[in-house]
Amino acid sequence: MLILNRPFIKPIAVSLFFGFCICNAQSQKNKVKDTKTLKIGIVGSWGDQGDGTYVNPVLNADYPDSDIEQVGDTYYMITSKQHMSPGMPILKSKDMVNWTNVGHVFENLSWASEYNWDRMNGYSFGVWAGDLAYHEGKWYCYQIDYQHGLMVSTAKDISGPWSKPVMMLPKDKVLDDPGVFWDEETHKAYVIINTAGKQKGPENKIEGNENRIYEMSWDGTKILDEGKLVYTGMGAEAAKIYKIDGTWYIFLAQWTMGDKSTLPGVKNPKNDRKQIVLRSKESIYGPYEVKTVLEKGTAFNNRSASQGALIQAPDKSWWYMHQLIQNDDDPFQGRPQCLEPVNWVDGWPIIGVDEDNDGIGEPVKQYKKPINGYPISAPSTDDEFSSSKLGFQWEWNHDPRNTHWSLTERPGWLRLKASKVLPNQKGYGPNINEWTNNDGSSSDFWRACNTLSQRIMGISKGTAVAKFDISGMKPNQMAGFVRFGGVYNLLGIEADEKGKRILFYMNTMAEKIKGPEIIKDEVYIRTTNIGNQAFYEYSFDNKNYSCFGPTFTIAFGKWTGDRLGFFSWNTKEDSGYIDVDWFVYNYDGPKAAK
């Protein structure tokens, strides 16, 4: 809800199991005394450039489906994260460019058993696109779980605690993407929802999704009517309602199909997800005029741009934050956020810059910042695990087994205890065709609880390293470092039935390469990506690193970009643990201040 007038370099190709990554000269030069002391520049290939400009994406990581609410001089953003827990990340910014972590709306995905550690059957579902609103001193967050329906959570403070979600509409009525609005003039509250074809009758001959407006109670927790259809369009969703100078505007994302052989959302650069705007001077229910205001341009190599939030700077200039989406070849970091200027032409908001003079905006690559005077920053990444609580950058693969991890049993270390992997049968682990890349969906990794990870940042290059103590490992345990999104690649240690510890690499098909026996208790694992090509290295002193395993391709999948993190499971019983001392991640972009 808008509140107005408020104070690549390509590595050498290698066969997956017949060739190993080659540490080049630059890698050998990268030896340092202590990786924890590494520092990078405060600017990079994206975000705040330190000269009064920014480069899109301003938030170059997997923060999809954004919505933004301004309160005072601060902008607050929520983004979806499907089956990851805690759910619905919250970020904040003073200038729309530099964003830092605040927390999460959902401490866990408590409303359904499939998201729990003993099921892990909710891949791709859980927390989808939401709407963040501030009304009469209270925060509201609305979202639709495709499998359960429309829900709302509330809080007095943006950092929580947030209430348990209240269900407002069942899943048989709605599909996704609620957008709310409180009309102070009429003292009425509304929510617009993509109901897709769930209520579509034979009288509606228009192809695509139906979008309906429901009236809500003034406290925002109850639906008061059956809803009224206001728009139907191909893949039309992610609606946001604004009322500006007495005129109603509904922002919607909609597909233009350049290739009928694929569906909306499927990777195909011929298809374009555009941002359209509905405008009415009469009523929130219309009648509406329709105009396309944003489409893909030259800045992002045919990646479609849409779905976001309209916001305003103190100088009254208008801006739009939106995601790039997954219909092209390189969203392996997920769906990042871009910031666009908005110019009003004949009462229509034109987003970005009209580079081809057709009356429709396209995204900008670099532009002047909307607000100056604030320091360069970014969401947190590095961690020394010195707190009794996990940093906001970390999320579990489904709700964790809380008895099997700790930050206090060994202060200054993260302890991950190994649980027995879940059974490979119906009702456990991922289902097929949930944007899984299909192959490998039955492997143990997807059914091993307490995998902890965070997003990669950017797509050019990055290096992450962690220090492990493996002295607590037990027979049949596997533990170490993971990169995963649509595919996973592991480097870790496997304790055999006699407890002998062996280095191993595993790919998404669960094919394994075994390495040397690991005698020492402390191991450093490092992973580097150059573009979407990545490899692993290991060390015993954090100075001399050896490559192990192939160069592999990281990929988007399960509606999730590539992530960096830790795993620990046991194939036979609940037994064994690893400790992680610290994690450091350097990449080509701004970093959080320490």
Write the DSSP assignment of 145-182 as a string of letters. ETTTEEEEEEESSTTSPPPPPEEEEETTT--EEEEEEE
Q: Is the dihedral of CA 132, 133, 134, 140 positive or negative?
A: negative
Rounded mean pLDDT of 367-393?
Answer: 97
The Cα–Cα gap between 361 and 339 comes to 13
**pLDDT tens column, 67-112:** 999 999 999 999 999 999 999 999 999 999 999 999 999 999 999 9
**279 — phi, psi (to 5°)?**
-130, 135
Q: Residue 233's closest CA among 251, 217, 247?
A: 251
Q: What is the CATH number of domain 43-80+128-368?
A: 2.115.10.20
In this prediction, residue 438 carries a pLDDT of 52
Lowest-pLDDT range, 18-32, 62-76, 385-399? Answer: 18-32
Find the helix or strand (DSSP H, E) in which 25 lies: helix 25-29
The Cα–Cα gap between 33 and 92 comes to 35
What are the residue ranges spanned by the domains of the chain? 43-80+128-368, 395-587
- Beta carbons within 10 angstroms of residue 471's beta carbon: 12
Cβ neighbours for 207, distance < 8 A, ≥ 6 positions apart: 232, 234
In this prediction, residue 266 carries a pLDDT of 81
Answer whether 215's CB lies under 8 Å from 190's CB: yes
Fold of the CATH domain 395-587: Jelly Rolls (2.60.120)
Answer whether 414's CB lies under 8 Å from 566's CB: yes
Answer whether 334's CB lies under 8 Å from 62's CB: yes
In this prediction, residue 594 carries a pLDDT of 72
Burial-class residue 401 by CB neighbours within 10 Å (0-12, 13-18, 19+). Answer: middle
pTM of the model as a whole: 0.93
The Cα–Cα gap between 550 and 489 comes to 10
The Cα–Cα gap between 586 and 581 comes to 17
Confidence of residue 221 (pLDDT cuts 50, 70, 90): very high
Beta-bridge mates of residue 68: 77
In this prediction, residue 439 carries a pLDDT of 63
Lowest-pLDDT range, 236-245, 253-262, 423-432, 452-461? Answer: 423-432
Report H helices in 485-532. none
Answer whether 518's CB lies under 8 Å from 499's CB: no
More confident position, 556 or 582: 582
Confidence of residue 264 (pLDDT cuts 50, 70, 90): confident
DSSP 560: B
Q: Residue 323's closest CA among 62, 84, 47, 590?
A: 62
Q: Which amino acid is at 461?
A: K
Token pair of 97, please?
């460019």
The mean pLDDT value of the chain amounts to 91
Answer whether 54's CB lies under 8 Å from 340's CB: no
Q: Residue 450's closest CA among 477, 486, 424?
A: 477
Q: pLDDT above 90 covers what percent of the chain?
A: 85
Cβ neighbours for 441, distance < 8 A, ≥ 6 positions apart: 429, 430, 431, 432
In this prediction, residue 422 carries a pLDDT of 98
Query: Residue 385 pLDDT > 80, yes or no?
Result: yes
Cis peptide before 590 (omega within 30 of 0): no
In this prediction, residue 486 carries a pLDDT of 83
Q: DSSP string covering 254-299, please?
A: EEE-S-TTS-TTSS-TTSEEEEEEEEESS-TT---EEEEEE---TT
Cα R_g (the chain), whole angstroms:
24
Q: Is the dihedral of CA 195, 200, 204, 209 positive or negative?
A: positive
Rounded mean pLDDT of 503-528?
Answer: 97
- Beta carbons within 10 angstroms of residue 391's beta carbon: 17
Lowest-pLDDT range, 139-143, 289-293, 326-330, 564-568? Answer: 326-330
Q: Residue 145's closest CA among 170, 163, 121, 120?
A: 170
DSSP 35: G
**pLDDT tens column, 422-458:** 999 999 998 764 544 556 788 999 999 999 999 999 9
Burial-class residue 33 by CB neighbours within 10 Å (0-12, 13-18, 19+). Answer: exposed
Find the helix or strand (DSSP H, E) in which 27 lies: helix 25-29
